Amino acid sequence: MHDGIFDFYFCDKCRAYVLDEKKGDAKRGILPNTAVQKLSDNWKCPICGGSSNELRPVTMLDHIMKSEILKPSLSGTRST
Ligand SMILES: [Zn+2]
Kindly list the averaged pLDDT for each block of 10 residues, start to end, along the chain of length 80: 73 93 90 90 93 87 66 60
Please give the pLDDT value at position 58: 85
- DSSP reduced 3-state for 46: coil
Please state whether 19 falls in left (phi above 0), alpha (psi between -120 and 50) or beta.
Answer: beta
Pick the CATH number of 8-70 from 2.20.28.10, 3.30.200.20, 3.40.50.360, 3.30.1280.10: 2.20.28.10
- Alpha carbon of residue 60 to chain centroid: 8
Tell me how far apart the terminal alpha carbons of the chain are, to the nearest angstrom: 28
Inter-CA distances, 40 with 25, 28, 44, 79, Å: 13, 11, 9, 35
Q: How far is the CA of 18 from the centre of ligand 1 (A)?
A: 8
Domain boundaries, the chain: 8-70
Q: How far is the CA of 49 from the centre of ligand 1 (A)?
A: 6
Q: What is the pTM of this model?
A: 0.68
